Amino acid sequence: MDIATVRHSDLARAVVTITVGTAAAQLINAVSTPFVARLYGPELLGRFGVYTALLAILSVFTSLRYDLAIVSASTVTDAARLVALAVFVLIPASIASGAAMFLLIRWHLGGLDTLPAYAPLLITGTLILIGLYTISRYWLLREGAFRLVSLAQFGQALGRTVAQLLIGVTWGGWGGLPVGDSVGRSCGLARMLGRTYQEVSGHARPVSVRTLRDVARRYWKFPTYSLPSSLLDTIALWLPTPLLLHFFGAEATGFYTLASNLMAVPLLFVGNAIGDVFFSRVSLYAREVPHRVKPFFLRTTLVLLAAGTPAIALIVVAAGKGLPLLLGREWAGIGPIPVALGVGALAQLVVSPVSRIVVVIQAQEMKLVYDVSSLVMVLVSIKLGDDLSFSLFGTLLLLSASQAVAYFIYWMILVKQVGRWTSS
């Protein structure tokens, strides 16, 4: 792919392609949510939220963030060898992560003692699936294969929903949620891996310890800065789940888990679709027409703000009254939670997709500074809410407001860094 092939119509078509797959996936999730919520209840969903939080945090380690370098790599040979390098470290890293989870459960840390003994085995296999999907997805985004990525998103949502419902009806219990999640993540993966292998094998050769070591050295910033930055970012995003379990219990954590998933729909539907195309195109602009980078960054931010504001507002208004009626009496306490989460969700929707530009302009160290600050704000917000004896709603409102402030400061930093990169 070169800059001559990129037109505004191509950008619009790419966004629509990703959006259609995302929309179909989210429609499946939306339709199935009342059934899953009634089938499993807030307590089991709260425990699954803790499992999902740990899964998200551990998944950061699996490829040492070399997967992030695939889209923005300077040559197609480098990109192909980065795919090989990421796969090479994936399996041992996933096994190590499963072992770490076993120890956390055994030591009763972070509320993980509520999870069954087989959870480490589940998380090891799921981490491998996540890693393979992420690596192939970044390669396909680089190559402009948006339709294949879109179909995979739909297949995963459908597979996850069907598996969780079937297991919940036939066997019941907490295990249906993580097993169904793993089944879903495997759907659509074979086609992605097949195309990725076919294309990468032609560009990566020769693959040897020396060539992998060389590409690892050239992209050293990714494990050095992007890995700890991504880890802190993910912890800041998911840490509220185990903390809420500790301070408010499993039922309240279930309310938060379902409400946060609902508030994330615009991010998954609009933000990720635009973010994927933004990352692919801004990487191309940076390589061939650097003067387009900053205007494209600012224009994408405005698009996200315009699309995200009414979407978040609609969910907040509709969810407040509709969720308790839709989900049943045991979910009566969830009503005000989306209201508390609204401002933070909007800030994340606007800033998170365009923040991928730090990879393109090689400014990972600046994101690391932001991630440390964001994590501190999360910890302070929840601890302050507990010290002041805030309700669940008050604590989440404080957390959401602090997240919005952190995202705004981060966006200002991004604007400054993009300007410096463009003028250098």
pLDDT tens-digit readout, 258-307:
999 888 888 777 787 788 888 888 888 988 888 899 999 999 999 999 98
Is the pLDDT at 2 greater than 50? The verdict is: no
Q: How confident is the model at residue 10 (pLDDT cuts 50, 70, 90)?
A: low
pLDDT per position as a tens digit, 375-408: 898 899 998 998 999 999 999 999 999 999 989 9
> In which element (H, E) is residue 321 found?
helix 293-327
Other C-beta atoms within 10 Å of 115: how many?
21
Q: Which residue has the tokens 């390669």?
A: 139
Buried b (16+ CB within 10 A) or exposed e, 374-409: bbebbeebbeebeeeebebbebbbbbbbbbbbbbee
CA distance 223 to 61: 9
Residue 5 confidence (pLDDT): 47
Yes or no: say if 42 and 331 are a contact pair by the CB < 8 Å rule. yes
Residue 111 confidence (pLDDT): 62
User: CB neighbours of 409 closer than 8 A, spacing ≥ 6?
Assistant: 370, 373
Residue 66 confidence (pLDDT): 95
User: CB neighbours of 196 closer than 8 A, spacing ≥ 6?
Assistant: 83, 135, 136, 139, 140
pLDDT per position as a tens digit, 154-212: 999 999 999 999 999 998 889 999 999 999 999 989 999 999 999 999 888 888 899 99
Count of positions (residues) in the chain: 424
Other C-beta atoms within 10 Å of 423: how many?
9
Yes or no: say if 267 and 342 are a contact pair by the CB < 8 Å rule. no
Yes or no: say if 324 and 291 are a contact pair by the CB < 8 Å rule. no
Mean pLDDT, the chain, whole residue set: 88
Q: Which two tokens stand for residue 209?
A: 């310890």
Q: How confident is the model at residue 74 (pLDDT cuts 50, 70, 90)?
A: confident
Residue 15 confidence (pLDDT): 66
CA distance 382 to 377: 9
Q: How confident is the model at residue 364 (pLDDT cuts 50, 70, 90)?
A: confident
Q: Which two tokens stand for residue 109?
A: 């840390």
Q: Which residue has the higher pLDDT, 26 or 124?
A: 124
